[in-house]
A and B are shown apart, each in its own frame.
Chain A
């Protein structure tokens, strides 16, 4: 199959931005802000109508890690830090004690009830390597132990989401390929065991989505990871790296750049995807953005979603 989705969260529309700013300045109430979130989420879901895999936009997530930072036991909110090589920031999770799962960390932030019945419901969660890399560990003093403890909590969250009807769970793992945080080769095998903990007993499809860095260094080890699909940022990873892969599952191709407002040429992007797929035999193919889309305005992201749909149609038709 050829699926389509956005690899991460969506941007807040300008009207919601105005409301959040007003709320921040104590000019509107929490109830008024909630109405704005509700309306914006509806708008974003409508905007994803052409996609096979749809999220609720994750508009309330202040950063990818925040629901876990705020919701897990043993973790507290730390100082602000740069989100990889972007002009955006996240708050560092401080690991102060054993990580414990106290119930769903994402449910109260989501709009499950607004999601369509026809599409596959998708959710995006931080992968263990990225969570551990970006955390300030004051308890475990051992990265693998921290990753594993987080993976156990993540597993519970994934199972909860599965019960809620989410058929596709993306684990975002930018730190795994980012130049300043990527692991040593010898750490890549150990990470497979951590992912086993995270995905154990999860029946929904899973994707380990890499972005912000060249995936060449995690290959071929990542091919053995216990996930349904692997995702790549084609603006960071050369097609040549991917052409030779012996995939056992599916591939998510981040061929639409969510860090540039340019709406790419559909023919060109189709050709880039086809070039990679010429020699690959993936179970499934997903055409997507290379990363989260909240680096763009919503209007711009909507154009990019349209492009994703067109590229997938071209590939299906063999154009």
Chain B
């Protein structure tokens, strides 16, 4: 019998100060070096070459710092006993910016308000989308020989890339369409499908040829536009993206309208797993009756047949859920969907937490999964 309740982290981890400063060229403090040493020690890594690198000015230092940081992330996941590992997205500036800066046609416009005093760098699509060099493959090829664990590669999906970008080029291209509403909608569709055909499918081809067995498609923007047209467009883009590839695909979507997503999930071809965000909506009490997870029934009622990683640990607070709470969340979902269809992951990537907090959260996640296995 296959192992029940396999565990993984969604994608991102925070970047430690030595990674950020080592990359940008800023001066490292003793505390930064100490952090690199402490975590190296803790994860069983021979970190002395890293310290030498951080203190020196070797050529190619930036990329080497990134490599080290990815190694730290992988070793953290391994030490915790996660079943699937990756780089904690240490190679990437951020999930959206990483793609936008590597694909021709995107141009950053500046900082745009997200909320209060938080901003994000938004790009405009100013020309035809063109794919030159792969931007996920180096990360995969670097990390593959460094781990015995199974690998899951998270990538940013076409819906989110479209939704988070200004669409100038495709808007201009459709100047003959008189209705501004229709023009906007058609421009959006053309951009999204170009990202699928011209960027992501060629990248998938390379990733899969290099040995990737599982690609997680991250679509945080999904359900932002809650209309039939938009959801149908997402389904079209998804199906076009995954068709023909011998690989496992899963969808990650968080802070979203799951009532809406549930209606469309069965139409997603080869979407073998949904990783969602439910811990954020749950209480901290013990027990298998957990109303927050009831929405999983919606997916079941609409006929979704894949597995679930519904989010068993909240990522936006420092509070650490106990293994017992994690266990009960898992068992609650197992009661709804069947134990063999439950995977165990946090709500989202842990990039907003310190490594210390991320470590503790993941540790309890793994321990909770173990307790749940014992209950079967």
Contacts and interface: CB of A to CB of B under 8 A. Distances in A.
Interface of A: 11-12, 14, 17, 20-21, 23-24, 62-63, 80, 82, 85-91, 179-180, 214, 234-239, 255, 257, 260-262, 265, 268, 272, 294-297, 299-300
Contact of A87 (B117, B224, B257): B224
A235 B167 CA distance: 14
A237 B166 contact: no
A237 B257 CA distance: 25
A24 B226 contact: no
B264 to A, nearest CB: 15
A294 B224 CA distance: 18
B111 interface: yes
Among all A-B residue pairs, the 9 with the closest Cβ atoms: A261-B166, A297-B110, A89-B115, A24-B117, A262-B168, A20-B117, A261-B124, A85-B225, A62-B116
B112 A296 contact: yes
Q: Is the interface of B mostly helix, strand, loop or mixed?
A: mixed
Contacts of B227: 179
A294 B221 CA distance: 19
10 contacts: A21-B117, A21-B119, A82-B255, A87-B120, A239-B179, A257-B184, A260-B184, A261-B124, A262-B166, A299-B110
A9 to B, nearest CB: 10
B109 interface: yes
Nearest to B160: A87
A14 B110 contact: yes
B114 A88 contact: yes
Nearest to B316: A80
A235 B226 contact: no
Nearest to A90: B115
Contacts of A11: 112-113
Contacts of B255: 82
Contact of B114 (A87, A180, A262): A87
B111 A180 contact: no
B113 A12 contact: yes
B115 A297 contact: no
Interface in B133-184: 163-164, 166-168, 171-172, 175, 179-181, 184
Nearest to A239: B179
Q: Give chain B's interface residue range (CB within 8 Å of chain A).
A: 20 to 34
Contact of B115 (A88, A179, A239, A255): A88
Contacts of B221: 87
Contacts of A63: 115
A89 B255 CA distance: 12
Given A21-B119, A87-B224, A179-B226, A272 B168 contact: no
A234 B224 contact: no
B181 A17 contact: no
A14 B111 contact: yes
A247 B171 CA distance: 31
B109 A300 contact: yes
A142 B60 CA distance: 64
Interface in B212-226: 221, 224-226
Contacts of A80: 115
Given A82-B255, A262-B172, A297-B111, 7 more contacts: A24-B118, A90-B115, A260-B167, A260-B168, A260-B171, A262-B166, A296-B109
Nearest to B227: A179
B111 A17 contact: yes
B72 to A, nearest CB: 25
B303 to A, nearest CB: 24
A89 B114 contact: yes
Given A179-B226, A235-B180, A262-B168, A295 B112 contact: yes
Contacts of A300: 109-110
Given A87-B164, A235-B180, A236-B181, A82 B224 contact: yes
Nearest to B221: A87
A91 B167 CA distance: 28
A62 B113 CA distance: 9
B226 A85 contact: yes
A281 to B, nearest CB: 23
Contact of B224 (A17, A86, A90, A297): A86
Nearest to B116: A62
Nearest to B123: A261
Interface in B93-119: 109-119
B226 A180 contact: yes
Most buried by B among A214, A260, A299: A260
Contacts of B166: 260-262
A133 B110 CA distance: 32
A238 B181 contact: yes
**Residue with the greatest number of chain A CB neighbours at <10 A, chosen from B166, B175, B255:** B166
Given A23-B117, A62-B116, A179-B226, A272 B180 contact: yes
B281 to A, nearest CB: 11
Nearest to A213: B227
